[in-house]
Structure 1
Amino acid sequence: MTADTADSTGAGGRTTLSAIASVAGVSVSTVSKVLNGRSDVSAGTKERVESVMDDLGYERRPTRRRGSVIDLVLNELDSLWSVEILRGVDEVLDAAGAGMVVSAVHGRSANTREWLDQLAARRSNGAILVVSELTPQQRKRLVAMDIPFVLVDPVGSVDALVPTVGATNWAGAVSACEHLIGLGHTRIAHLAGPRQLLCSRARADGFHAAMERAELPVPEAWVAYGEFNDRSGRAEMARLLDLTEARGEKPPTAVFAASDLQALGAFEVLRDRGFAIPQDVSVVGFDDLPVARWTHPALTTVRQPLLEMAAMAATTLLRIIDGEHVENLRLEMATELIARASTAPPRPQS
């Protein structure tokens, strides 16, 4: 399911806030502000949004959002990725007059149990979960507490009745590799994310699919699984270069990293080893974090719409809290290749 599908009318033909925002040329949060009578919307914008609501036959329902408390649970807080998620959720909740409590579980089940206890104690109205794993037991407890929740970027198989918001990871990886292949690269390595994560496997599968389609070989050692951080990118890149040198093989002329931070770690190692980017090795990342534009050279990457994904998750949760029927439980928002200066054709072979 694509973002375009998510912006269509809902069950029974009821118009969604996303559809109103699209037609009016504003953000979902602006539509929420108009619905909630916020004063920080210009008269012209308010009139345009309300006109679109009338044209589309939007039926306003009594809202229970103001005064609501929403839990945002992240696996980590110390990353730019988490900051983008936080920004997207905050924009929608602030527009709706809802409060937010932010927690980090650091991938530890003990912390998750503690958060569930705290959530029950403060009687949160709903939860947005961006965690490494949601176990059947945890889901059962959330249901028992009658707390609606939405998963962002789910990491594994999820019950069909659980609302999720993700991105087209496989297609994004294919576009990254096809970009490199189109430039003339044939020796391409992949710095993958954690094996257990669904998004990592989808990106690795997309890499292999693009390489197979172009009939290009992928040595087993040229796919290195790690973590979505710069330390892992450094370690994976260094190991790959050490291995090719020990075997007397030519190094890759291009690297597709499963995250921008891994790509930046690869940058550091390549420069330390005397490789010029992109003259000797082209590098592509995944996420399009703000830092991707500030690197030198600027990083070619696959844009994962993190802020929009988070905003969509918050909007979906608020609709559930308001008693609306959510017809699209599996939302996948489109990724986009952003070509910058870290990729170029390979050097001519002497």
Structure 2
Amino acid sequence: MVRTASASAAAGPTLAVVAREAGVSVPTASKVVNGREDVAPETRRRVTEALDRLGYVRRPRSDAARAPRLVDLVVHALDDSWTGAVLRGVEEAAHDAGLEVVVSAAPDRCGAARPGRGRLDRLVARGSAGVLFGLTEPSASQYAWLEQQRVPFVMIDPVREPPPGVVSVGASNRQGGVAATEHLLGLGHERIAVLAGDTRTVCGAARVAGYRSALASAGIRHRPEYVRHAGFDERAARRHTLELLDLPEPPTAVFVCSDRMALGAYRALAERGLSVPAGMSVVGFDDLPEAGWASPTLTTVRQPLAEMAATALHSLLRLIDGHRPDSTRTELPTRLVERASTAGPPGVRASATGRGVSPSRAPAGPPR
């Protein structure tokens, strides 16, 4: 009897005990433990407090010790180039660390890709050591569930600003926006538009902020009609490019905040019989494979996606080992990759230094 009681005490309280403590049914307590969202906030609070107060510990599967060491990668989609680059970085880093990776896609819900209710429960059931989220946004209750279950996780290119203390890895999006705009300014453009993504997102807002900062530093007046919000959608980018072309004074260049949207801008220009860059210079962002496939090849800002993914995995491994980082946010540098989609505006030629020089300002004779 003593041994039985000791074993029971060591095992900790059952879910029934937690439910009784919180004044709820066992199924309701189970929903909170499993990260279900169909629980009232006050009920969730009572159950969570009871779990903490009683020291409830989720029991691993009996075969968890024999399972291979796994990490989960949850991405917004499986069929795009962004995911391919991230998966490459995670897989290479995981191979070096002796890990296996389980990849899944979160459905888009109300404009944000979020893991389903049972997805996080399944990853714990199979003994996953931690989770990487790529362009996905857990709900507030899922963040709380991960913390409660002590499941380490890291965000790759977070959609929105993560809660305090959440570790994330991204790119220097603002500086990338500065570099793209300064490149066009250096070619002599002053009428520069921007096709923004979703400015409610971390990267979308930062890229537009970089564009505006570069214009201000160059003393170029900000023109609100040159700022169009395409939501990272290729078809919307095409439509907004046509609108820019219909302005009384259309831009001579456009900074497009993703390579996929840049393809939409290409399509709009072709529909109007305009070539790139003679009709309009175009700069993208990401440096996905599509940038090299486009005709002409796309000048773009390279976002180091594979490196970001590998850095995120290394950060996750440190969390798994119980080490907290000095900083919760890591930003890797972006850089401009010049290709064939940019040139000086009509009437302006590029100088030897790359700055745009109008004919009236060009040197009178050959250099001495």
- TM-score band w.r.t. shorter chain: 0.7 to 0.9
Deviation at 1:157, TM superposition (A): 2.4
- SS of the residue aligned with 2:306? helix
Give the AA of the match of 1:224. Answer: R
**Whole-Å Cα distance in 1 between the matches of residues 290 and 162 of structure 2?**
32
Question: Partner residue of 1:295?
Answer: 294
Provide structure 2 residue ranges, at least 5 long, that are not aligned to the other structure: 1-64, 349-358, 360-368
**Kindly tell me: are residues 342 and 227 of structure 1, through their superposed partners in 2, closer, same or farther at Cα, counting changes over 3 Å?**
same
Given that residues 252 and 279 in structure 2 are in contact (C-alpha distance below 8 angstroms), is that contact kept between their aligned partners in structure 1? yes
Deviation at 1:135, TM superposition (A): 3.1
Per the TM alignment, residue 230 of structure 1 is displaced from its structure 2 partner at its CA by 2.3
Name the SS for the 1:103 alignment partner: strand
- Corresponding residue of 1:226: 230
Alpha-carbon spacing, 1:78–1:176, altered in 2? closer, same or farther (3 Å): same
Aligned-residue Cα RMSD (Å) equals 2.0
- State how far apart, in whole Å, the 2-side matches of 1:319 and 1:147 are: 13
1:61-210 alignment to 2 at 5 Å? 67-108=68-109, 111-210=115-214
Contact 1:260 1:286 in 2 (8 A): yes
Alignment of 1:337 with 2:336, yes or no, is: yes
Structure 1 match to 2:254: 255
SS at match of 2:89: helix
Q: CA deviation at 1:318?
A: 1.7
Structure 1 stretches lacking a partner, 5+ long: 1-63
- Asked which structure has the greater RCO (Cα within 8 Å, sep 6+), the reply is 1
Alpha carbons of 1:137 and 1:231: their partners in 2 closer, same or farther (altered >3 Å)? same
Give the partner amino acid of 1:289.
Answer: L
Greater CA drift, 214-223 or 164-173: 214-223
Matched residue type, 2:205: R
**What does the per-residue CA deviation read over 1:79-122, in whole Å, with 9 as the maximum and x for residues that have no partner?**
11111111111111122221111111133277432322322332
Aligned residues: 281
Q: Secondary structure at the match of 1:251?
A: coil
Task: Decide whether aligned partners of structure 1 residues 189 and 218 sit closer, same or farther in structure 2, where only a CA change above 3 A counts.
Answer: same
Tell me what 1:275 maps to.
Answer: 274
Q: Tell me how far apart the structure 1 counterparts of residues 123 and 241 of structure 2 sit (CA, whole Å).
A: 41
In structure 2, do the counterparts of structure 1 residues 135 and 110 end up closer, same or farther at CA, with 3 Å as the change threshold? closer
Whichever residue aligns with residue 250 of structure 2, its letter is P
**Structure 1 range deviating more: 116-125 or 194-203:** 116-125
CA shift in 2, pair 1:239/1:106, >3 Å: farther
Q: Deviations over 1:276-334 (max 9, x none)?
A: 11112000000011221222211110011001000110111122223344333211000
d(CA) in 1 for partners of 2:194, 2:310: 30
Residue 284 (structure 1) aligns with:
283
Amino acid at match of 1:104: A
Q: Per-residue deviation at 1:250?
A: 2.4
Q: Distance in 1 between matches of 2:314 and 2:173?
A: 22
SS of corresponding position for 1:125? strand
Per-residue CA deviations over 1:179-233 (Å, capped at 9, x if unaligned) read 1011000111100001220110011111111112222233322211123242232
Q: Who wins on radius of gyration, i.e. which is larger?
A: 2
| CA spacing shift, 1:111–1:320, aligned 2, 3 Å | closer
Determine the C-alpha separation between the residues in 1 that align with 2:69 and 2:164.
Answer: 26
Deviations 1:43-99 (A, max 9, x none): xxxxxxxxxxxxxxxxxxxxx9x9211110111222111111111111111222211
Contact 2:195 2:230 survives alignment (8 Å): yes
